[in-house]
Amino acid sequence: MKGVFWLPSVFLLSMVIHQSVGLQCYQCANTDGKVCPYDATTFTSNSHDACITWRLGNGSIILQNLVSAADECTEEKIKFWSRFIDLYYNVYGGSVQCCYGDLCNDGSSTSHSAFVQIGNKVSIPGAAFVSDGSVFDILAQQPDNGNCEKYYDKISSDEWMPDILVPLAFDRASQTKVGVFYTKLGARNNNNDHVIVRIVNRAKQNLTMYSIKMFRVGSVSIHISKLEPQRNGGGFIQQDGKKTSINDVIQIGDEDIDEYQGFWISIKNDVTISVGKIGDKLIRPMVTYSDVLREGPEEPYYFGLTTPSGTSASFGVNCDMPGLHFPDTCVTDLDCEEYPMTTCSDEPLNRGLDPGTREKPFSEWMTGDTLLKSCWCKPGTVRIPESRGCYDPIRKVVTLRDGCFADHHCEHLPNTICTLDMEMVKYNMSCQCLPGHKPFEADPRTGLIEGCAPLTAEDKEYIG
Protein backbone atom coordinates (compact mmCIF):
# COMPACT_ATOMS: atom_id res chain seq x y z
CA MET A 1 0.00 0.00 0.00
CA LYS A 2 1.31 3.47 -0.76
CA GLY A 3 2.89 5.50 2.01
CA VAL A 4 0.47 8.41 1.69
CA PHE A 5 -3.17 7.64 2.36
CA TRP A 6 -4.79 10.72 0.83
CA LEU A 7 -8.37 9.51 0.98
CA PRO A 8 -8.95 9.36 4.76
CA SER A 9 -7.49 12.84 5.16
CA VAL A 10 -10.36 14.14 3.00
CA PHE A 11 -13.02 11.49 3.23
CA LEU A 12 -12.75 10.76 6.94
CA LEU A 13 -12.66 14.43 7.90
CA SER A 14 -16.07 14.76 6.29
CA MET A 15 -17.39 12.05 8.59
CA VAL A 16 -16.25 13.24 12.04
CA ILE A 17 -18.56 11.84 14.67
CA HIS A 18 -19.39 12.43 18.29
CA GLN A 19 -19.98 9.46 20.51
CA SER A 20 -23.63 9.20 21.41
CA VAL A 21 -26.48 6.74 21.49
CA GLY A 22 -27.03 5.26 18.03
CA LEU A 23 -25.41 2.94 15.50
CA GLN A 24 -22.07 1.48 16.56
CA CYS A 25 -19.40 0.76 13.94
CA TYR A 26 -15.72 0.00 13.76
CA GLN A 27 -13.51 2.87 12.58
CA CYS A 28 -10.02 2.47 11.18
CA ALA A 29 -7.86 3.62 8.28
CA ASN A 30 -4.56 2.05 7.18
CA THR A 31 -2.55 5.22 7.74
CA ASP A 32 0.03 6.43 10.23
CA GLY A 33 1.04 2.89 11.11
CA LYS A 34 -2.49 1.66 11.79
CA VAL A 35 -3.54 -1.74 10.48
CA CYS A 36 -7.21 -2.50 9.82
CA PRO A 37 -9.11 -4.22 11.30
CA TYR A 38 -6.44 -5.09 13.87
CA ASP A 39 -6.25 -1.50 15.17
CA ALA A 40 -9.92 -0.66 14.71
CA THR A 41 -11.80 1.16 17.47
CA THR A 42 -15.54 1.38 18.03
CA PHE A 43 -17.58 4.57 17.68
CA THR A 44 -21.26 5.23 18.18
CA SER A 45 -23.29 7.85 16.33
CA ASN A 46 -26.96 8.82 16.17
CA SER A 47 -26.36 10.82 12.98
CA HIS A 48 -25.17 7.87 10.84
CA ASP A 49 -27.16 4.84 9.78
CA ALA A 50 -24.61 2.54 8.09
CA CYS A 51 -21.21 1.01 8.66
CA ILE A 52 -18.79 0.79 5.73
CA THR A 53 -15.78 -1.35 4.80
CA TRP A 54 -13.26 -0.74 2.00
CA ARG A 55 -11.13 -3.62 0.70
CA LEU A 56 -8.39 -4.24 -1.81
CA GLY A 57 -9.00 -6.93 -4.41
CA ASN A 58 -7.31 -9.59 -2.25
CA GLY A 59 -9.69 -8.81 0.60
CA SER A 60 -7.35 -6.69 2.73
CA ILE A 61 -9.29 -4.09 4.73
CA ILE A 62 -8.09 -0.50 4.24
CA LEU A 63 -10.97 1.47 5.77
CA GLN A 64 -13.78 1.00 8.31
CA ASN A 65 -16.12 3.84 9.24
CA LEU A 66 -19.62 5.20 9.91
CA VAL A 67 -21.52 6.81 7.04
CA SER A 68 -24.93 8.03 5.99
CA ALA A 69 -26.42 5.37 3.72
CA ALA A 70 -28.14 7.90 1.48
CA ASP A 71 -24.78 9.55 0.77
CA GLU A 72 -22.27 6.68 0.61
CA CYS A 73 -24.21 3.44 0.11
CA THR A 74 -25.96 4.09 -3.17
CA GLU A 75 -25.07 1.85 -6.10
CA GLU A 76 -23.45 4.80 -7.85
CA LYS A 77 -21.25 5.72 -4.88
CA ILE A 78 -20.19 2.14 -4.20
CA LYS A 79 -19.12 1.71 -7.84
CA PHE A 80 -17.30 5.06 -7.75
CA TRP A 81 -15.27 4.32 -4.60
CA SER A 82 -14.59 0.72 -5.68
CA ARG A 83 -13.13 2.04 -8.93
CA PHE A 84 -11.18 4.65 -6.97
CA ILE A 85 -9.55 1.91 -4.87
CA ASP A 86 -8.39 0.08 -8.00
CA LEU A 87 -6.96 3.24 -9.56
CA TYR A 88 -5.33 4.65 -6.44
CA TYR A 89 -3.73 1.42 -5.22
CA ASN A 90 -3.08 -0.01 -8.68
CA VAL A 91 -5.01 -3.18 -7.88
CA TYR A 92 -7.96 -5.09 -9.30
CA GLY A 93 -11.18 -6.01 -7.53
CA GLY A 94 -11.38 -3.24 -4.94
CA SER A 95 -14.73 -3.18 -3.19
CA VAL A 96 -16.90 -1.13 -0.84
CA GLN A 97 -19.55 -2.69 1.38
CA CYS A 98 -22.23 -1.11 3.56
CA CYS A 99 -24.02 -2.89 6.40
CA TYR A 100 -26.58 -1.71 8.90
CA GLY A 101 -26.20 -3.44 12.28
CA ASP A 102 -24.01 -2.64 15.29
CA LEU A 103 -20.36 -3.55 14.64
CA CYS A 104 -21.30 -5.29 11.39
CA ASN A 105 -18.17 -3.93 9.65
CA ASP A 106 -15.70 -5.98 11.71
CA GLY A 107 -14.41 -7.57 8.52
CA SER A 108 -15.63 -11.06 9.32
CA SER A 109 -19.01 -11.18 7.56
CA THR A 110 -18.73 -10.39 3.88
CA SER A 111 -19.02 -11.84 0.43
CA HIS A 112 -15.24 -11.53 0.25
CA SER A 113 -12.94 -13.66 2.34
CA ALA A 114 -12.47 -12.04 5.72
CA PHE A 115 -8.89 -10.84 5.41
CA VAL A 116 -6.97 -9.17 8.20
CA GLN A 117 -3.82 -7.23 7.50
CA ILE A 118 -0.64 -6.35 9.35
CA GLY A 119 1.63 -4.01 7.42
CA ASN A 120 1.24 -2.70 3.95
CA LYS A 121 -0.02 -5.37 1.57
CA VAL A 122 -0.04 -9.03 2.57
CA SER A 123 -3.35 -10.40 3.84
CA ILE A 124 -4.97 -13.64 4.99
CA PRO A 125 -8.39 -15.05 5.70
CA GLY A 126 -9.51 -13.69 9.03
CA ALA A 127 -11.70 -16.72 9.68
CA ALA A 128 -15.16 -15.41 9.80
CA PHE A 129 -17.63 -18.27 9.57
CA VAL A 130 -17.31 -19.58 6.05
CA SER A 131 -20.29 -21.34 4.51
CA ASP A 132 -20.43 -23.59 1.45
CA GLY A 133 -19.54 -21.84 -1.80
CA SER A 134 -17.29 -19.34 -0.03
CA VAL A 135 -14.05 -17.84 -1.22
CA PHE A 136 -12.19 -20.68 0.51
CA ASP A 137 -13.83 -23.21 -1.79
CA ILE A 138 -12.93 -21.10 -4.83
CA LEU A 139 -9.34 -20.42 -3.83
CA ALA A 140 -8.72 -24.08 -3.06
CA GLN A 141 -8.66 -24.59 -6.84
CA GLN A 142 -6.00 -21.97 -7.40
CA PRO A 143 -3.57 -22.27 -10.34
CA ASP A 144 -0.02 -23.53 -10.06
CA ASN A 145 1.48 -20.05 -9.74
CA GLY A 146 -0.20 -19.56 -6.36
CA ASN A 147 -2.17 -16.39 -7.12
CA CYS A 148 0.59 -14.19 -5.73
CA GLU A 149 0.93 -10.45 -6.30
CA LYS A 150 4.70 -10.45 -6.73
CA TYR A 151 7.17 -12.94 -8.21
CA TYR A 152 10.95 -12.70 -8.26
CA ASP A 153 14.09 -14.83 -8.59
CA LYS A 154 17.12 -15.29 -6.37
CA ILE A 155 20.38 -16.76 -7.68
CA SER A 156 23.25 -17.43 -5.26
CA SER A 157 22.19 -14.31 -3.39
CA ASP A 158 23.77 -15.40 -0.11
CA GLU A 159 21.89 -12.63 1.73
CA TRP A 160 21.97 -12.35 5.50
CA MET A 161 19.00 -9.97 5.43
CA PRO A 162 16.68 -10.43 2.40
CA ASP A 163 16.14 -7.26 0.39
CA ILE A 164 12.39 -7.94 0.10
CA LEU A 165 10.50 -8.15 3.41
CA VAL A 166 6.79 -8.92 3.66
CA PRO A 167 4.71 -8.11 6.76
CA LEU A 168 3.19 -11.04 8.56
CA ALA A 169 -0.58 -10.99 8.85
CA PHE A 170 -2.70 -11.50 11.97
CA ASP A 171 -5.21 -14.33 11.85
CA ARG A 172 -8.13 -13.66 14.20
CA ALA A 173 -9.24 -17.29 14.24
CA SER A 174 -6.00 -18.82 15.50
CA GLN A 175 -4.61 -15.65 17.12
CA THR A 176 -1.35 -16.15 15.23
CA LYS A 177 0.78 -14.14 12.84
CA VAL A 178 0.87 -15.83 9.44
CA GLY A 179 2.76 -15.51 6.20
CA VAL A 180 2.35 -17.39 2.92
CA PHE A 181 4.79 -17.82 0.04
CA TYR A 182 5.29 -20.00 -3.02
CA THR A 183 8.63 -21.26 -4.28
CA LYS A 184 10.33 -23.58 -6.74
CA LEU A 185 14.03 -24.39 -7.02
CA GLY A 186 16.01 -23.70 -10.17
CA ALA A 187 18.42 -25.98 -11.98
CA ARG A 188 19.96 -28.65 -9.77
CA ASN A 189 23.36 -27.82 -8.31
CA ASN A 190 23.58 -30.36 -5.49
CA ASN A 191 21.49 -31.94 -2.76
CA ASN A 192 22.27 -29.02 -0.46
CA ASP A 193 20.17 -26.68 -2.62
CA HIS A 194 17.66 -24.93 -0.39
CA VAL A 195 15.69 -21.77 0.18
CA ILE A 196 15.80 -19.70 3.35
CA VAL A 197 12.95 -17.88 5.08
CA ARG A 198 14.12 -15.16 7.48
CA ILE A 199 11.78 -13.77 10.15
CA VAL A 200 12.77 -10.43 11.67
CA ASN A 201 11.34 -7.84 14.03
CA ARG A 202 9.44 -4.64 13.24
CA ALA A 203 12.65 -2.57 13.24
CA LYS A 204 14.16 -4.92 10.60
CA GLN A 205 17.16 -5.61 12.80
CA ASN A 206 19.40 -8.47 11.74
CA LEU A 207 21.24 -9.26 14.97
CA THR A 208 18.90 -12.18 15.63
CA MET A 209 16.43 -13.82 13.24
CA TYR A 210 14.46 -17.02 12.87
CA SER A 211 15.56 -18.93 9.77
CA ILE A 212 13.56 -21.68 8.10
CA LYS A 213 15.51 -23.78 5.60
CA MET A 214 13.72 -25.88 2.99
CA PHE A 215 15.93 -28.34 1.10
CA ARG A 216 15.75 -29.98 -2.31
CA VAL A 217 16.06 -33.38 -0.61
CA GLY A 218 12.74 -32.73 1.20
CA SER A 219 13.81 -31.70 4.70
CA VAL A 220 12.75 -28.59 6.63
CA SER A 221 14.61 -27.11 9.59
CA ILE A 222 14.14 -24.14 11.92
CA HIS A 223 17.19 -22.18 13.08
CA ILE A 224 18.04 -19.16 15.20
CA SER A 225 20.54 -17.01 13.28
CA LYS A 226 22.64 -14.41 15.10
CA LEU A 227 25.31 -11.84 14.44
CA GLU A 228 27.77 -12.10 17.32
CA PRO A 229 30.69 -9.73 17.91
CA GLN A 230 34.20 -11.17 17.65
CA ARG A 231 36.12 -11.25 20.89
CA ASN A 232 39.04 -9.32 19.45
CA GLY A 233 36.80 -6.78 17.76
CA GLY A 234 36.65 -6.30 14.05
CA GLY A 235 33.02 -6.94 13.27
CA PHE A 236 30.50 -9.72 13.67
CA ILE A 237 30.38 -13.43 12.94
CA GLN A 238 27.26 -15.06 11.53
CA GLN A 239 26.06 -17.89 13.77
CA ASP A 240 23.36 -20.34 12.77
CA GLY A 241 21.91 -22.75 15.33
CA LYS A 242 19.57 -25.52 14.20
CA LYS A 243 16.73 -26.01 16.71
CA THR A 244 14.59 -28.66 15.03
CA SER A 245 14.21 -30.42 11.68
CA ILE A 246 12.14 -33.01 9.85
CA ASN A 247 12.97 -35.09 6.77
CA ASP A 248 11.08 -36.08 3.60
CA VAL A 249 8.14 -33.70 3.97
CA ILE A 250 8.35 -31.40 0.90
CA GLN A 251 8.95 -31.66 -2.86
CA ILE A 252 10.35 -28.31 -3.97
CA GLY A 253 13.28 -29.97 -5.74
CA ASP A 254 11.50 -32.65 -7.73
CA GLU A 255 12.61 -32.11 -11.34
CA ASP A 256 9.38 -33.70 -12.56
CA ILE A 257 7.32 -30.99 -10.80
CA ASP A 258 7.88 -27.63 -12.47
CA GLU A 259 5.33 -25.84 -10.31
CA TYR A 260 5.38 -23.48 -7.40
CA GLN A 261 4.83 -25.18 -4.06
CA GLY A 262 2.96 -23.18 -1.42
CA PHE A 263 3.84 -22.95 2.27
CA TRP A 264 2.69 -21.05 5.33
CA ILE A 265 4.52 -19.95 8.44
CA SER A 266 2.77 -19.03 11.68
CA ILE A 267 3.96 -17.51 14.95
CA LYS A 268 1.95 -17.95 18.14
CA ASN A 269 2.53 -15.51 21.01
CA ASP A 270 5.77 -14.39 19.30
CA VAL A 271 7.39 -17.61 20.57
CA THR A 272 6.15 -20.69 18.71
CA ILE A 273 7.10 -20.93 15.03
CA SER A 274 5.31 -23.45 12.79
CA VAL A 275 5.71 -24.33 9.11
CA GLY A 276 3.08 -26.04 6.98
CA LYS A 277 2.00 -26.66 3.40
CA ILE A 278 -0.81 -24.84 1.61
CA GLY A 279 -3.75 -27.22 1.80
CA ASP A 280 -2.97 -28.19 5.39
CA LYS A 281 -4.73 -26.42 8.26
CA LEU A 282 -2.88 -24.09 10.62
CA ILE A 283 -3.20 -26.76 13.28
CA ARG A 284 -1.40 -29.31 11.05
CA PRO A 285 2.19 -27.98 10.72
CA MET A 286 5.04 -30.00 9.31
CA VAL A 287 7.42 -28.75 11.98
CA THR A 288 7.15 -26.54 15.07
CA TYR A 289 9.66 -24.91 17.41
CA SER A 290 8.97 -23.00 20.65
CA ASP A 291 11.61 -20.43 21.49
CA VAL A 292 11.13 -20.68 25.26
CA LEU A 293 14.54 -19.09 25.92
CA ARG A 294 13.56 -16.12 23.72
CA GLU A 295 16.74 -16.19 21.66
CA GLY A 296 15.02 -15.00 18.51
CA PRO A 297 13.73 -11.55 17.58
CA GLU A 298 11.24 -9.78 19.83
CA GLU A 299 7.85 -9.24 18.20
CA PRO A 300 8.47 -10.97 14.84
CA TYR A 301 6.87 -8.84 12.14
CA TYR A 302 8.38 -9.41 8.66
CA PHE A 303 9.50 -12.44 6.67
CA GLY A 304 11.83 -12.51 3.68
CA LEU A 305 12.98 -15.17 1.20
CA THR A 306 16.45 -15.80 -0.13
CA THR A 307 18.90 -18.48 -1.32
CA PRO A 308 22.40 -19.47 -0.21
CA SER A 309 25.40 -19.40 -2.51
CA GLY A 310 25.02 -21.97 -5.29
CA THR A 311 21.21 -22.17 -5.21
CA SER A 312 18.70 -20.54 -7.54
CA ALA A 313 14.99 -20.30 -6.78
CA SER A 314 11.84 -18.42 -7.73
CA PHE A 315 9.44 -16.97 -5.16
CA GLY A 316 5.92 -15.63 -4.98
CA VAL A 317 4.73 -13.40 -2.14
CA ASN A 318 1.53 -11.55 -1.19
CA CYS A 319 -0.43 -14.68 -2.01
CA ASP A 320 -3.94 -15.98 -1.49
CA MET A 321 -4.22 -18.24 1.53
CA PRO A 322 -6.73 -21.05 0.96
CA GLY A 323 -7.43 -23.91 3.31
CA LEU A 324 -5.84 -22.58 6.50
CA HIS A 325 -9.09 -23.02 8.43
CA PHE A 326 -11.88 -25.57 8.63
CA PRO A 327 -15.03 -24.60 6.72
CA ASP A 328 -16.87 -24.25 10.04
CA THR A 329 -14.26 -22.02 11.70
CA CYS A 330 -15.69 -19.05 13.58
CA VAL A 331 -14.21 -16.19 15.61
CA THR A 332 -17.17 -14.69 17.50
CA ASP A 333 -20.82 -15.55 18.12
CA LEU A 334 -21.73 -13.20 15.27
CA ASP A 335 -20.20 -15.71 12.87
CA CYS A 336 -22.74 -18.31 14.06
CA GLU A 337 -25.87 -16.18 13.74
CA GLU A 338 -26.93 -17.97 10.56
CA TYR A 339 -27.21 -21.27 12.40
CA PRO A 340 -30.00 -21.57 15.00
CA MET A 341 -29.15 -22.04 18.67
CA THR A 342 -25.34 -22.07 18.21
CA THR A 343 -22.46 -20.20 19.75
CA CYS A 344 -18.76 -19.90 18.87
CA SER A 345 -16.56 -21.98 21.15
CA ASP A 346 -13.39 -24.06 21.10
CA GLU A 347 -15.19 -27.16 22.40
CA PRO A 348 -18.77 -28.46 22.73
CA LEU A 349 -20.92 -26.99 25.48
CA ASN A 350 -22.92 -30.24 25.65
CA ARG A 351 -20.25 -32.93 25.75
CA GLY A 352 -21.44 -36.24 24.40
CA LEU A 353 -24.53 -34.68 22.80
CA ASP A 354 -22.94 -32.49 20.11
CA PRO A 355 -20.47 -34.12 17.68
CA GLY A 356 -19.89 -30.83 15.83
CA THR A 357 -19.88 -30.15 12.09
CA ARG A 358 -16.38 -31.19 11.08
CA GLU A 359 -15.48 -34.38 9.25
CA LYS A 360 -14.54 -36.03 12.54
CA PRO A 361 -16.73 -35.81 15.67
CA PHE A 362 -15.28 -33.95 18.63
CA SER A 363 -14.44 -37.22 20.40
CA GLU A 364 -11.91 -37.93 17.61
CA TRP A 365 -10.34 -34.47 17.41
CA MET A 366 -6.56 -34.32 17.68
CA THR A 367 -4.60 -32.21 20.13
CA GLY A 368 -4.61 -28.64 18.86
CA ASP A 369 -7.84 -28.89 16.87
CA THR A 370 -9.57 -26.58 19.34
CA LEU A 371 -7.25 -23.75 18.25
CA LEU A 372 -9.81 -23.09 15.52
CA LYS A 373 -13.25 -22.54 17.05
CA SER A 374 -16.53 -23.89 15.72
CA CYS A 375 -20.24 -23.14 16.09
CA TRP A 376 -21.44 -25.45 18.87
CA CYS A 377 -24.95 -26.06 20.16
CA LYS A 378 -25.97 -23.78 23.01
CA PRO A 379 -26.51 -25.41 26.43
CA GLY A 380 -29.71 -27.40 26.47
CA THR A 381 -29.84 -28.01 22.71
CA VAL A 382 -28.71 -30.78 20.35
CA ARG A 383 -27.55 -30.83 16.75
CA ILE A 384 -30.20 -30.96 14.05
CA PRO A 385 -29.38 -34.07 11.96
CA GLU A 386 -27.30 -33.21 8.88
CA SER A 387 -27.37 -29.53 9.78
CA ARG A 388 -25.15 -26.85 11.29
CA GLY A 389 -27.99 -25.63 13.47
CA CYS A 390 -29.33 -26.94 16.78
CA TYR A 391 -32.70 -27.28 18.52
CA ASP A 392 -34.06 -27.87 22.00
CA PRO A 393 -35.64 -31.36 22.08
CA ILE A 394 -37.05 -30.88 25.59
CA ARG A 395 -38.03 -27.20 25.82
CA LYS A 396 -39.40 -27.62 29.33
CA VAL A 397 -39.89 -30.37 31.88
CA VAL A 398 -43.37 -30.68 33.38
CA THR A 399 -42.81 -33.16 36.20
CA LEU A 400 -40.15 -34.10 38.71
CA ARG A 401 -37.62 -36.76 37.64
CA ASP A 402 -38.24 -36.13 33.95
CA GLY A 403 -35.21 -36.00 31.63
CA CYS A 404 -33.21 -32.79 31.12
CA PHE A 405 -29.68 -31.72 30.32
CA ALA A 406 -29.70 -28.02 31.22
CA ASP A 407 -31.03 -26.11 34.23
CA HIS A 408 -33.37 -24.02 32.09
CA HIS A 409 -35.32 -27.18 31.24
CA CYS A 410 -36.41 -27.26 34.90
CA GLU A 411 -37.24 -23.57 35.29
CA HIS A 412 -40.99 -24.28 35.15
CA LEU A 413 -40.67 -26.51 38.22
CA PRO A 414 -40.06 -24.40 41.37
CA ASN A 415 -36.99 -25.21 43.47
CA THR A 416 -35.53 -27.81 41.10
CA ILE A 417 -32.26 -28.31 39.30
CA CYS A 418 -31.08 -30.50 36.42
CA THR A 419 -28.73 -33.04 37.95
CA LEU A 420 -27.36 -36.58 37.60
CA ASP A 421 -29.88 -39.42 37.32
CA MET A 422 -28.48 -42.68 35.98
CA GLU A 423 -31.99 -44.07 35.55
CA MET A 424 -32.51 -41.60 32.66
CA VAL A 425 -31.12 -43.62 29.79
CA LYS A 426 -30.79 -40.90 27.14
CA TYR A 427 -29.33 -37.95 29.03
CA ASN A 428 -28.48 -39.42 32.48
CA MET A 429 -29.94 -36.27 34.07
CA SER A 430 -33.35 -35.26 35.41
CA CYS A 431 -35.08 -32.38 37.23
CA GLN A 432 -34.79 -32.95 40.97
CA CYS A 433 -35.42 -30.98 44.18
CA LEU A 434 -32.82 -28.55 45.41
CA PRO A 435 -31.20 -29.53 48.74
CA GLY A 436 -33.49 -28.63 51.64
CA HIS A 437 -36.65 -29.12 49.60
CA LYS A 438 -39.25 -31.86 49.10
CA PRO A 439 -41.51 -32.75 46.16
CA PHE A 440 -44.96 -31.25 45.81
CA GLU A 441 -47.88 -33.60 46.15
CA ALA A 442 -48.76 -35.14 42.79
CA ASP A 443 -51.59 -33.43 40.93
CA PRO A 444 -54.61 -35.71 41.59
CA ARG A 445 -55.86 -35.26 38.01
CA THR A 446 -52.64 -35.66 36.01
CA GLY A 447 -50.22 -37.25 38.44
CA LEU A 448 -47.60 -34.59 37.62
CA ILE A 449 -45.27 -33.49 40.39
CA GLU A 450 -44.81 -29.86 39.40
CA GLY A 451 -41.98 -28.73 41.67
CA CYS A 452 -40.61 -28.78 45.19
CA ALA A 453 -41.27 -26.92 48.45
CA PRO A 454 -38.89 -25.99 51.30
CA LEU A 455 -38.69 -28.53 54.09
CA THR A 456 -40.75 -27.57 57.14
CA ALA A 457 -39.50 -27.71 60.71
CA GLU A 458 -41.45 -30.93 61.14
CA ASP A 459 -39.86 -32.40 58.01
CA LYS A 460 -36.39 -31.55 59.31
CA GLU A 461 -37.18 -33.00 62.73
CA TYR A 462 -38.48 -36.19 61.09
CA ILE A 463 -35.40 -36.49 58.90
CA GLY A 464 -33.15 -35.82 61.87
Report pLDDT digits (tens) over 379-427.
888 888 777 888 888 878 888 988 888 888 898 899 999 999 888 777 7
Do 222 and 348 reside in the same domain of the chain?
A: no
> Per-residue confidence at 245, pLDDT binned at 50, 70, 90?
very high
* Number of structural domains in the chain: 4
For residue 349, count other CB atoms closer than 10 A to its CB. 17
User: What does 326-371 look like in DSSP terms, one character per residue?
Assistant: -TTEESSGGGGTTSTTEEEESS-SSTTT---SSSS-GGGPPTTGGG
Quote the CA–CA distance of 99 and 66 in Å, as a whole number: 10
Q: Are residues 420 and 459 located together in one domain of the fold?
A: yes
pLDDT at residue 16 in the model: 41
C-beta of residue 92 within 8 angstroms of C-beta of residue 57 = yes
What pLDDT was estimated at residue 58? 64
pLDDT of residue 56: 79
Name the burial class of residue 190, with classes exposed (0-12), middle (13-18) and buried (19+) by CB atoms within 10 angstroms of its CB: exposed
Q: What is the pLDDT of residues 321-348, one digit of tens each?
A: 777 888 888 888 888 888 888 999 999 9
Q: What is the pLDDT of residue 112?
A: 32
Is residue 258 domain-shared with residue 357, that is, in the same domain?
no
| Entry pTM | 0.58
What's the gap between Cα 423 and its chain centre? Answer: 43
Q: Quick one: which H or E segment has residue 71?
A: helix 69-72
Indicate which CATH number applies to the domain containing 300.
Answer: 2.60.120
185 and 282 assigned to the same domain: yes
Classify residue 374: in a domain, yes or no: yes
Question: From CA 298, how far away is CA 303, in angstroms rounded?
Answer: 14
Run of H or E residues at 302: strand 300-306
Given this model, what pLDDT does residue 413 score?
93
Q: Are residues 173 and 59 in the same domain?
A: no
CATH number for the domain harbouring residue 31:
2.10.60.10
Cα R_g (the chain), whole angstroms:
28
Tens of pLDDT, residue by residue over 62-109, are: 899 999 998 899 988 888 888 888 777 766 677 899 998 889 998 764
Q: Quick check: is 101 in a domain? A: yes
Question: What was the pLDDT predicted at 345?
Answer: 93
The proportion of the chain whose per-residue pLDDT surpasses 90, expressed as a percent, equals: 37
Among 343, 361, 391, identify where a domain stops: 391
- Whether residues 349 and 222 share a domain: the answer is no
CA 108, 112, 117: angle at the middle one, nearest 5?
60
Confidence at residue 216, expressed as pLDDT on a 0 to 100 scale = 92
Would you say residue 121 lies in a domain? no
DSSP letter assigned to residue 407: G
Confidence of residue 375 (pLDDT cuts 50, 70, 90): very high
**Residue 126: inside a domain:** no
Q: What is the pLDDT of residues 201-240, one digit of tens each?
A: 988 988 999 999 999 999 999 999 999 888 777 788 899 9
Residues 308 and 421 in one domain: no
pLDDT-based confidence at 21, cuts 50/70/90? low
- 422 or 114, higher pLDDT: 422
Residue 305's H or E segment, with its range, is strand 300-306
pLDDT value for 90: 63
- Decide if 399 is inside a domain: no
376: number of Cβ within 10 Å: 26
Mean pLDDT, the chain, whole residue set: 81
pLDDT tops 50 at residue 280: yes
- Asked if residue 371 belongs to a domain, the reply is yes
Are residue 10 and residue 48 in the same domain, yes or no?
yes
Judge whether residue 131 has pLDDT over 60.
no
Q: Are residues 294 and 192 both part of a single domain?
A: yes
- Which of 255, 289, 319 corresponds to the end of one domain? 319
Q: How many CA atoms does the CB half-sphere of 438 hold within 13 Å?
A: 11
CA dihedral sign, ordered 213, 278, 175, 52:
positive
Domain match, 280 and 229 both: yes
Q: Would residue 80 count as lying in a domain?
A: yes
> Can you give the residue range of the structural domain that contains 21?
6-112
Length of the chain equals 464
Q: Are residues 187 and 310 in the same domain?
A: yes
In degrees, rounded to 5, the angle at the alpha carbon of residue 118 between the alpha carbons of residues 149 and 282 is: 80
Question: At which of 290, 319, 348 does a domain end?
Answer: 319
Domain membership of residue 326 (yes or no) is no
pLDDT of residue 243 exceeding 90: yes
Whether residue 53 is found in the same domain as residue 151? no
Residues whose CB falls within 8 Å of the CB of residue 352, separated by 6 or more in sequence, listed in order: none
Please give the backbone phi and psi of residue 226, each rounded to the nearest 5 degrees, phi first.
-135, 150
* Cis peptide bond prior to 348, omega within 30° of 0: no
